[in-house]
Structure 1
Amino acid sequence: MRTLPLNSRILRGVTATAAVASLAAGLAACGGDSDAATRTEGASAGSVTVGALSNGAAKQTELKVSEVKSISALLPKSVAKSGTLRIGVGALPAGFAPLAYVGGDQKTLTGAEPDLGRLVAAVLGLKPEVKNSTWENLFVGIDSGKVDVAFSNVTDTEERKKKYEFASYRQDNLGFEVRKKSTWNFDDDYRNLAGKTVAVSAGTNQEKILLEWKSKLAKEGKKLNLKYYQDNNATALALSSGKIDVSFGPNPGIAYHITQTAKTPNPTRNAGKFSGAGETLQGLIAATAKKDSGLAAPLADAINYLIKNGQYGKWLAAWNLSNEAVDTSQVNPPGLPLDNS
């Protein structure tokens, strides 16, 4: 799925992870493509710093990681010879916290996505070169060979497999945000929403899911109230004031908002998650390379190395995204079906 401003991008093309352009207010915007600065200052040799310049969205953490030659030996010759992993991110113009956005210095691209790209590059023994673009130009960059791989909240879909190959690295989830003092939890059962007032963005995947649940509850003689607000700030105000019980949206956006409210008088928490692909399939976010490029396998091996050795878990924890962890990175796992892509 795409990486639209974390609210709209959850239409069928992007599935659950996207939207927080409004939450990322104040972040610098640019146009076209750019070679994004990446944060390596302060990191020692054989390490990668994640969560730098995050404006409070992450805990800055230095992770030890070096080349694993048995994995880098699997790279396509052209990539290995270049010595560089060109990483595409589709975060222009405004970015989408906490996944990819301009950091506290107003010039460096930070976020969970470029951080993972740099960790993977380290395992592969390559220098990371992050190229930021619009969402549309992200795929143009892969197609043209301008970038080797996208780390940009791209959902694995069967439609996309016609042109691209994937190495999964994160669950694609929607989340339920409530006030921290609330005792309500989703508990993987839509019936727990009976009698609740839930905020959702119009025209999104999450709205479609809620409308289906609302219909089911109505048949059971129960009510679910949906509320729509102009932007994320209005939704946050409604939640903090008690006008709504729950906000339902892309899990990364909710994770980000939770970090922003943590030290305020009205902190919030995550009360559950739901796959953006629906109840029958766990949606997956994946590193995306050109089909038959030969990159998916070494990318998956690198991610699995990070999972096995703990850097992956620390990366997710730094960005408050631990509830999107996968047990293993898969090459071209089942994706959003063609009739739902």
Structure 2
Amino acid sequence: MSTTFSRRQLLRGVTAVTAFAALGTTLAACGGESDAAATTSAAGTVTVGQLSNGAAQETSIKVAEVASISALLPAAIKEKGTLIVGSGTLPSGSPPLGYIGDDQKTLTGSEPDFARLIATVLGLEAEVSPSTWENMFIGLDGGKVDVAISNVTVTEERKQKYEFASYRKDDLAFEVDESSDWTFDGDYRALAGKTVSVGSGTNQEKILLEWKDKLAEEGEDLTVKYYQDNNSLYLALSSGKIDAYLGPNPNLAYHTTETAGTPQATRIAGNFSGAGETLQGLIAAAAKKGSGLAEPIAAAINYLIENGQYDQWLKAWNLSTDAVEKSEIDPPGLPLTNS
């Protein structure tokens, strides 16, 4: 999972990390139940985007249990009445997906919000349990967590142990200075002559370096640069030392929201599948294989898509470009050679 932090996030990083670590300790002491930003606000309403530190537009969404969908739940989950949701965001969070809100203590983010919408359709109460990325999967394996809703990419390797219900595209994005007129339409040739920054050791670096090699074979140059911190990266972008930054779409969309209307304003210049040009990567809710949760969760997601709540949720978090047409159970994932 790639993590990108904005300038504002870095400035308050020590406080936020301390608060997030403290939250994790508190949750461990009380069995993992989270103080995620608000529960159902009123009968039939879920409010998303609360305490978002400006990353989201607070939005009240009308939604309620759908009996025909909740009837698909495994009996043990239905009887329990709660859906324990893993959030692999400790120790420092990953805005806008899951992070400490502007009260410096409460877990917020697009993923916890979506978990509450899904749980409401299923007639359940969502209990969001933050942990490290690795421990989230350990929780799934051991039954302490029912489902992970935390920017999990579907891969063929993971499908050997987990069942999935997709809900968002796994897209990368190019971020440019707002004044730039450059756009990326999916053709790597648009990068000829450009200087692009990317995170070292990431999936997006792998894709960018493959494009660099292709361009070199065609007699064109692509310069790739690396920065140790985001302050340096965004200073280079605003000063024209680099033309673009390639990173995970949600993180970059978060940054464009934060910088809007400032001298450092940026925009998204184009998107590309995190799985490469031959497959659309997908983000999905992950449950233990054989749990029987993928079917009701996919049905709940499709209900939210068909009735407009899904679009409201994405729009609130500035993630509309990540929308999928429907939730699929165990869709094709990144191949074993790229998992």
Q: TM-score, normalised by structure 2?
A: 0.93
CA distance in 2, matches of 1:172, 1:145: 26
CA distance in 2, matches of 1:153, 1:20: 16
Q: In the alignment, what sits opposite 2:35? A: 37
Shift of 1:39: 2.2
Q: In the alignment, what sits opposite 1:10? A: none
Q: 1:299 aligns with which of 297, 300, 304?
A: 297
Shift of 1:263: 2.1
Q: Which stretch of structure 1 is more off in the superposition, 71-80 or 233-242? A: 233-242
**Contact 1:21–1:94 (CA<8 Å) still a contact in 2?**
no
Larger % of helix: which? 2
> What are the within-5 Å matches in structure 2 for residues 254-273 of structure 1?
254-273=252-271
Q: Which stretch of structure 1 is more off in the superposition, 87-96 or 27-36? A: 27-36
Q: In the alignment, what sits opposite 1:54? A: 52
**Contact 1:151–1:286 (CA<8 Å) still a contact in 2?**
yes
Q: In the alignment, what sits opposite 2:149? A: 151
Shift of 1:21: 8.2
CA distance in 1, matches of 2:104, 2:124: 26
Q: In the alignment, what sits opposite 2:276? A: 278
**Contact 1:24–1:94 (CA<8 Å) still a contact in 2?**
no
CA distance in 2, matches of 1:87, 1:226: 38
Say if 2:176 is the partner of 1:185.
Answer: no
CA distance in 1, matches of 2:8, 2:227: 14
CA distance in 1, matches of 2:74, 2:9: 37
Q: 1:162 aligns with which of 156, 160, 163?
A: 160
Q: Counterpart amino acid of 1:287?
A: A
Q: Which runs of 5+ in 2 are unaligned?
A: none
- The residue matched to 2:85 in structure 1 has which SS? strand
User: Per-residue CA shift, 1:253-280, capped at 9, x if unaligned?
Assistant: 1001101110211311101111111110
Q: In the alignment, what sits opposite 2:111? A: 113
Q: In the alignment, what sits opposite 2:93? A: 95
CA distance in 2, matches of 1:22, 1:134: 23
Q: Which stretch of structure 1 is more off in the superposition, 29-38 or 326-335? A: 29-38
- The residue matched to 1:270 in structure 2 has which SS? strand
Task: Label 1:42 to 1:155 Cα distance change in 2 as closer, same or farther (>3 A).
Answer: closer
Q: In the alignment, what sits opposite 2:203? A: 205
CA distance in 2, matches of 1:130, 1:51: 15
Shift of 1:125: 0.6
Say if 2:244 is the partner of 1:246.
Answer: yes
CA distance in 2, matches of 1:61, 1:146: 31
Q: Which runs of 5+ in 1 are unaligned?
A: 7-18
Shift of 1:237: 1.3
Say if 2:313 is the partner of 1:315.
Answer: yes
Q: In the alignment, what sits opposite 2:328? A: 330
Q: In the alignment, what sits opposite 1:171? A: 169
CA distance in 1, matches of 2:105, 2:121: 26
Q: 1:136 aligns with which of 129, 134, 137?
A: 134
- The residue matched to 2:97 in structure 1 has which SS? coil
Shift of 1:23: 6.7
CA distance in 2, matches of 1:21, 1:233: 8
Say if 2:63 is the partner of 1:72.
Answer: no
CA distance in 2, matches of 1:81, 1:270: 45
Q: Root-mean-square deviation (CA), in Å?
A: 1.5
**How many aligned residue pairs are there?**
326
Task: Label 1:297 to 1:21 Cα distance change in 2 as closer, same or farther (>3 A).
Answer: farther
Shift of 1:24: 3.6
**Contact 2:20–2:105 (CA<8 Å) still a contact in 1?**
no
Task: Label 1:313 to 1:106 Cα distance change in 2 as closer, same or farther (>3 A).
Answer: same
CA distance in 1, matches of 2:304, 2:284: 15
Task: Label 1:24 to 1:163 Cα distance change in 2 as closer, same or farther (>3 A).
Answer: farther
CA distance in 1, matches of 2:267, 2:237: 11
**Contact 2:115–2:126 (CA<8 Å) still a contact in 1?**
yes
CA distance in 1, matches of 2:219, 2:142: 55
- The residue matched to 1:332 in structure 2 has which SS? coil
